[in-house]
Amino acid sequence: MAIQDIYPAALRLLGRPVLVVGGGPVAARRARGLLDAGAQVTVVAPLGCPALEELAGAGLLDWQPRPYRSADVDGTWFVQTATGDAAVDAQVAADAEAQRVWCVNASDHGASAAWTPAVAVVDDVKIAVNAGGDPRRAMALRDAVATALHAGDLPLRRRRPSGAGSVALVGGGPGDAGLITVRGRRLLGQADVVVADRLGPRELLGELAPDVRVIEVGKTPGHHPVPQSGINRILVNEALAGHRVVRLKGGDPYVLGRGGEEAEYCRQHGVEVEVVPGVTSAISVPAAAGIPVTHRGLAKGFSVVTGHEELSEVPARADHTVILLMGVGQLRGSAASLGRAGLPAGTPVGIVENGYLPNQRVTIGTLGTIADQAEAAGVANPAVIVIGDVVRVSPFAPPHFKTADYGTTSPNAPRVPAR
């Protein structure tokens, strides 16, 4: 049989009788697949493997523990052989051929009237691959296609209306397209409408199909062209119109991203909503500059606040990392607040602008100097500000910031600034 002789088709076997001849692991796998399709499965085999016995014991199929008889094919819609005995499989195939019943002959793919493809399911898409009768090759190709679909590299978007719409709040990470989650990338590829922030993986918007609508709702400090109430209404209205909506955010939707408000508004209006966590910039952007937010011997915890929040309740210790988001405009006041709370003026501070992007820039100083340094350098949002001894670990830190020991070989030894 040549591959050109194959006519691909999908069989609807719901409620229809099918026959599996054989009792080994292959027969059990084929029987389970047929059961998943809703078929009424009869298995004929003198002996059955544990997997087959389990299916029969659960009442999911009819197992006839005896040798095959030609009459077993009568009234069936589809036959699968898997006895391991070429002569028996050939007889089953010949009996099926005589009754014009499609049969997969596991012992001789070249003579088989039908082939069983390698199958994978991604959402409501079923992938079936034939590869010239080479099952391992077919499985490798199937896995590659399924992986690409899972990753959003292949289009999963529906082209026909599918009924009710939905909203997915997707955290896009700090901006690099490679840092969005696999789930987020897949949902983006399925979207009819994308409601996009100014931050996040903007590069991915250029990969959307031409008919996907992108609604820009990005905010900058002090300038909100679309207020949050308007964003909420857009999400609900688009979903109620039957669209699959992705709210693409920078970072994580539930970390200072107002995702909780959007999810609540959707639920209040009867719209299905899914939240996809993202790589929050509070942790990832410092890492882009080699700054861990915790480090053994230097810091055991951290606080994340915006530059607009009151800082008096934050632990004022160099061994507790403070991370400021959207804090450039209030940096001088924030530094003064932390100083009044007791944080020493010599506490290291790092600012990372445009984390993971080509124009990333790192500015490092102390609590007493960082505001002047930032103004002189023209530091601007988007930026993450890190305050605490963990900044000493950064490869961008000046030599005199380095500690005598910030490794883990003697974690309980005191960290003394190098002289």
Contact 268, 179 (CB under 8 A): no
- Residue from 72, 89, 95, 197 carrying the catalytic annotation: 197
Alpha helices in 348-388 (DSSP H): 370-377
Q: Tell me if residue 237 falls in helix, strand or coil.
A: helix
Residue 262 structure tokens: 């959007």
- Looking at residue 367, the DSSP 8-state letter turns out to be T
Comparing CA positions, the residue from 193, 209, 211, 119 lying closest to residue 155 is 209
> Whole-angstrom Cα distance, residue 275 to residue 280?
14
- Nearest-angstrom CA–CA distance, 229 and 233: 6
Query: What residues does 119 pair with on adjacent strands?
Result: 128
| Kind plus residue range of the DSSP H or E element containing 284 | helix 281-288
- Considering 219, 319, 402, 405, which one is annotated as catalytic? 219
Distance (Å) of CA 28 to CA 62, 108, 116, 140: 12, 19, 14, 21
Active site residue 219: yes
Buried residues in 212-227 as b, exposed as e (16+ CB within 10 A):
beeeebebeeeeeeee
Examine the residue annotation and report whether 197 is marked as an active-site residue of this protein.
yes
Task: Point out the residues that are catalytic.
Answer: 197, 219
